[in-house]
Amino acid sequence: MSETGLPTTDGRRLIAAARRRDLLFAGIGLAVLFVATAVLLALVLDLVLTGAPHIDLDFLTSYPSRRASRAGILPAWVGSALVMLVTAALAIPFGIAAGLYLEEYAPRNRVTDVIEINITNLAGVPSIIYGLLALGVFVYGFRLGETILVAGMVLALLVLPVIVVATREALRSIPREVREAAFALGADKWQTVSMYLLPAARPGILTGIIVALARAIGETAPLVTIGALTFIAFLPPPPITAQPPFVSFEWLGSPFTVLPIQMFNWISRPQAAFHELAAAAGVVLLVMTLAMNGLAIYIRYRARRLLG
């Protein structure tokens, strides 16, 4: 016992107990993390080991074929890329605009509340429901057909809530001092938003876009529902042409397939050779996703460096 009456040995024991608790918790956390990472790593490794040997220029530039040795993924990756282009072109501006409106402009009333709840819930709707909606509205209702445009539209709808929510979160996390400083300088609402809030929210919005596009590129169900082809031996018309005006949007109306559907198609065949091709296509899909992420991270890094 010390002079103050506090049992010093007990103090040490308490600290030791706290240390043990911390260690135990860190241990459990590490174990869980390890299991999760190990499973993921094993899956990716298996995919790469099986698929990588099949990836060469021929594989990327050939059409699918009944013979595994001649089959390629040209229409699939081109389809995926074009669909993602449409998705991004629709989901990014609409998502940011909607998030901006809800966070900065919408009056606080019942209608706004209903819209907010709906958007949050939309993020949880199974994707095949979106497929059914697109089939009914876009394919049959608007007679847009089973095209790249419709595929891009349905995926844009699917990931819109992600971008809306990310935009709102990013705007909300800007300290109110920044907003007040802008208004105090005499800025109007649009100046405050465009000159100060959006730039400050950019990293958060970009993160939302990465998550959204990564989800969209892996989607299969809604595209099958709207009638994506599973076997296709031609490319959509090129977006760039030799004659003026040098750009063409004919490809929007073209039938298509995408990488996940191509993979599914090969997986369902009995021959093992096709299973290996599916793995190879999976690797390409992963690389495309990582490339998109990499681009977004690079933009975000540059934005951060500029903003400090």
Partner 1 sequence: MTLAAPLPAEPAPPSARPDEARPAEIRAKAAVEDLSFWYGPKQVLFSISMPVAEGCVTALIGPSGCGKSTFLRCFNRMHDLYPGNRYAGRILLEPEGIDIIGPKTDPMVPRMRIGMVFQKPNPFPKSIYENVAAGLRIRGVRSRTVLDAQVEKSLRRAALWEEVKDRLHASAHTLSGGQQQRLCIARALAPEPELLLLDEPTSALDPIATAHIEELIDELSRRYTIVVVTHNMQQAARISRFTAFFHLGRLIEFGPTEEVFTRPRETMTQDYITGRFG
SS3 assignment, position 2: coil
Q: Which residues pair with 240 in a beta bridge?
A: 247
Q: Is 123 or 303 the residue whose CB approaches partner 1 more closely?
A: 303
Which amino acid would we find at residue 217? I
Residue with tokens 């990472």: 37
User: What minimum distance in Å lies between the beta carbon of 118 and partner 1?
Assistant: 23
Q: Which is nearer to partner 1, 61 or 173 (CB)?
A: 173
Whether the upstream peptide bond of residue 222 has omega within 30° of 0, thus cis, is no
CA-angle at 212, arms to 77 and 295, nearest 5°? 65
* Residue 148 vs 201, nearer CB to partner 1: 201
Q: How far is the CB of 299 from partner 1 (least distance, A)?
A: 16
Please tell me the distance from the alpha carbon of residue 147 to that of residue 155, in angstroms, as a whole number. 13
Residues making contact with partner 1 (CB under 8 A): 108, 175, 177-188, 191, 195-196, 199-200, 306-308
Which H helix or E strand runs over 46?
helix 8-51
**What would the two tokens of residue 166 be?**
């990310």
Instruction: Tell me the closest approach of the beta carbon of residue 111 to partner 1, in angstroms.
Output: 16
**Sequence letter at residue 232:** I
**What is the rounded CA–CA span in Å between residue 106 and residue 99?**
10
> Which tokens sit at 46?
């298996």
Q: Which is nearer to partner 1, 140 or 190 (CB)?
A: 190
* Cβ distance to partner 1 smaller for residue 56 or 113: 113
* Angle between the N-to-C axes of helices 148-172 and 127-134, in degrees from 0 to 180, rounded to the nearest 10: 130
Phi-psi region of 257 (alpha: psi -120 to 50; beta: other; left: phi over 0): beta
Nearer residue to partner 1 within complex by CB, 63 or 183 = 183
Chain position carrying tokens 């105090």 = 184
Distance CA 291, CA 59 (A): 19
Q: Which is nearer to partner 1, 202 or 275 (by Cβ)?
A: 202
Q: Which residues contact 238 (CB under 8 A, 6 or more apart)?
A: 248, 251
Whose CA is closest to 49, among 297, 276, 299?
Answer: 276
State the minimum distance, in angstroms, from the CB of residue 76 to partner 1: 42
CB of residue 293 to partner 1, shortest distance in Å: 24
Question: Nearer Cβ to partner 1, position 191 or 293?
Answer: 191
